Chain A
Amino acid sequence: MDPIRKLALFEQNVMPHLPAAYNLARWLTRNDHDAEDLVQEAYLRAFRSFETFQGVDGRAWLLAVVRNTCLTWLRKKGLHPTEEFDERAHSAAEQSTDAESLLLNQAALGSLNDCLEALPLEFREVIVLRELEELSYKEISDIARVPVGTVMSRLARGRKRLQQCLAGALR
């Protein structure tokens, strides 16, 4: 591809999604400075592999690159243990708390961001992609490289954990 045309196409299709890219990186890294660096790195990576972009949805494509860049970095820093989150062990604890009985109020909502930030990465990423970016289950499954069913169960469990966290913040 002609370099000038490639840059123009890239800026047209991918550049507008910078807010989404930054928001995802910021939620994954939980840190402004690292989010900035990683978004910049992700943009370079995306540009280098722009030939693989099929021209469907620049946002989902870019977010996949951002997500991979962030996870690689987190793993390298040892901040994201590679072993899978033990879902059964945690689900037992989840059921023991009756989240439904929680009366949410404005005070609880104040700690929402802290609670979301405290969620394990695999829940946090699907929640950000679903609730903040409003991507489809299929798009999230492509980005997170897990089956759609896993996306849905992680979303459900993530939401529940969030409720529990908010309940804890109220007590």
Chain B
Amino acid sequence: MNAIEENAIELRHVSRWYGNVVAVNDVSMTVGPGITGLLGPNGAGKTTLLTMMAGFLAPSRGELTVAGQPSWRHPGVFRLLGLVPERDSVYAFLTGLDFVRSTAKLHRLADPDAAARRAIGIVNMADAQDRRISTYSKGMRQRIKVAAALVHDPRILLLDEPFNGMDPRQRLVMMDLFERMAQEGRTIVFSSHILEEVERMSGTIQVIVGGRLAASGDFRAIRRLMTSRPHVFLVRSSADRALGAALIGRPAVSGVELTPRGLQVRTSDFGTFTREIAGLCKDGGIALREVRPSDESLESVFSYLVAT
């Protein structure tokens, strides 16, 4: 049983589609204790993946198990699992304490009041707990949702964009909380589309792009992959072919393509390239008209990871 518990969430060739739209495409992964971040651009399928893990959506294909059992149609899985959904939807007419305590009662805890207060203490909402949730700010609502997800001491915590609406200090506090919980042996899975949010975190990253699992592993290693990725520039000059021939001889240039719009140059060393191109043009008597980077967006950054 222990081995299954360790591999808390398992996905095997999980796909989910809505009619013609494939939201999650053949994802296989194993999520164990510690922190796992689901990273990816908006619309990549992170929420769909989390929703399936949480048992609120069935995979169209493949198997998804939580602690050995499928989470779909198994309300019992929620004894082990806490979910913090992204939507800002919560019983606004209840007080914070009321909401968390009711959740504790729904979990059939022996002392719901104590559990609620403890959970609220963990997220530092004790001084607002007697106010109605409708009076809370967005960050406070996030925190009370986290408290409700923690109240039954789950070994797995799923959070969808938990840092939305939090200021940097709150983010740090929340990350600290995750680290502490991870050290206790829990499994924390959260989704985000902002790299900088997860900069300092000590766990595994799963990069989801276009519904597919694009990269997994340590955050720092992936980051390195991204900064040492090839850059692509569009160059227009008075003699593209000649310039292209000169460029391909340089070690900093890894590829050159003649396109109707100009010369497309791939380089793995941005700095050297930019230094050398001016010299090459001068030597060859070529007038350089335009050097334009063509891949600054996060999308293309992630798509490099897919290609890799």
A and B are partners in one complex rather than unrelated chains: no
